[in-house]
Structure 1
């Protein structure tokens, strides 16, 4: 409960200051948040059992390929959607995972801050339609990996590996927009 309250407070503070952030957030904060979230998800591996079953999880490379050819604003929208779906996935029951709760909480805060910060850089704050294929991919992860494997430590390790790949690909997508 405390985590959710903290996430709401952080989200509200970012949204309320969004107009002053403009894309300064992306230029000044994105890289650090991205590095920290990748470090945390790697730390979670060191705390896991690493005895994963091999479930079939197809990574949506085609969606990233399409996004890489999209406009800057669409790249940001796609990345925000990934981060929001990721945060929702990690809100599921992860009590069987061997991760420390504080690590997961910190990871969720960073991912939410990234999503909110990138969202502040999108000029058309209208309700753009979410990518249905991406949403279905995350839904399959929830149903076919987590639920069917009973939210086991092994299922969470599969999810962690997928999310690490997402974070890396999202970092590459947004980094292509950053000024050096």
Structure 2
């Protein structure tokens, strides 16, 4: 809903070259235990929320809508975290963390937190949320 329908694909190539979507990490997570899948999903939600805490003043989003989004993401992470045993979420996935760090540094910072940079990040996060939903949904169909 927050998208501005940007047609500039130069930035899309920038994201693909510096922070390619981590399909391999999702593939690994899909073969993991239920607790590991939940832990991976919690990390995605936490990393996404942290990204949106950065300077988003150039983004063309309604501030209230962004706040609502962050509240929902945080609530989802908290809810999923409560489903994980005490040993299930002790270790973060370093590769996933580095991916989000690259989004922050190589897309947002290098593009000056511009509206275009935020649109690229928004698209990436939308894809992550879709994949995370599929990952968690797999738990419902197998258990």
> Which one of the candidate residues 80, 96, 107 is aligned to 2:42?
80
> Which one of the candidate residues 44, 69, 84 is aligned to 2:2?
44
Distance 2:53 2:87 in 1: 25
TM-score where L is the length of structure 1? 0.72
Q: Where does the alignment leave 5 or more consecutive residues of structure 1 unmatched?
A: 1-42
> Which one of the candidate residues 39, 59, 81 is aligned to 1:97?
59
TM-score where L is the length of structure 2? 0.90
Cα drift, residue 106 of structure 1: 0.4
Structure 2 match to 1:17: none
Cα drift, residue 125 of structure 1: 5.2
Cα drift, residue 50 of structure 1: 1.3
Contact 1:83 1:115 in 2 (8 A): yes
Distance 1:86 1:60 in 2: 14
> 1:1-180 maps to which residues of 2 (within 5 A)?
43-45=1-3, 48=4, 50-52=6-8, 53-54=10-11, 55=14, 56=17, 57-124=19-86, 128-178=90-140
Contact 1:49 1:153 in 2 (8 A): no
Contact 2:35 2:84 in 1 (8 A): yes
Q: Where does the alignment leave 5 or more consecutive residues of structure 2 unmatched?
A: none
Q: CA RMSD in A?
A: 1.6
Contact 2:39 2:88 in 1 (8 A): no
Going from structure 1 to structure 2, the CA distance change for 1:125 and 1:116 (only over 3 Å counts) comes to farther
TM-superposition CA deviations, 1:40-68 (whole Å, max 9, x none): xxx111xx261443213300000000000
**Following superposition, which runs of at least 4 residues in structure 1 exceed 6 angstroms of deviation?**
none
Aligned residues: 136
